[in-house]
Amino acid sequence: MKIRTIALRILVFSFLSVPCFSAQQVSPQDAAHQRNYNNCLYGYAGCDPTQLTDAERPTVQHAAHQRNYNNCLYGYAGCDPTELTSTEQPLVQQAAHHRNLNNCLHGYAGCDQSQLSDSEKETISVVRRSTVPVQPPQSQNTTPPRTYTNSDGQKVQSPIKSNTVPPGATARCRDGSYSFSQHHQGTCSHHGGVSRWLD
């Protein structure tokens, strides 16, 4: 029994005397470099590209290119079409055409009918003729809706609370209001974020 107790004490003492490294120790310079690399990689402010290593630059450039491609593909601000590859350009043009067609089909302000084909214009006119406008009850408030100016300089109806999906709504916000935003970026930002996209 004494031998086990002594052996156990030796084992515990040797374990406690060995320095314990639960995580790799990083110098403050390495931590600052890692923060700068992450800022550059994710396109955050505080990126100093001169501090990147030769091995990090291609990864950061690829990430910046991918962010630009996504911005162009989804119609977000920050898109630089001159940076797209010849493979990406037709995909971005197709996505922009689809967004425009969707805007025209639903009567959104971002509609540019000059970009539509004749068959698309015909489809839109058929859809509009088949849609019966719903008259609001007489007891509803008839004051014009509040608006804001979006990143494209267009006036857009501000989010509203409603028991039913209002015409032209593009998203339901987490606070129960409906947004009429024409871009996904920033939609419902003051209403708890997007609960569900409607477009």
CB 173 within 8 A of CB 179: yes
CB 94 within 8 A of CB 73: no
Structural tokens at position 5: 């107790």
Q: Return the SS3 of 178.
A: strand
Kindly report, residue by residue over 67-124, the tens digit of the pLDDT: 999 888 888 888 999 999 999 999 999 998 988 888 888 878 788 889 999 998 888 8
DSSP sequence for 25-84: ---HHHHHHHHHHHHHHHT-TT--GGG--TTTHHHHHHHHHHHHHHHHHTT-TT--GGG-
Q: What global pTM score does this model have? A: 0.52
Q: Where are the domains of the chain?
A: 29-84, 88-128, 149-197
Nearest to 94 by CA among 110, 76, 113, 72: 72
Structural tokens at position 88: 């990406």
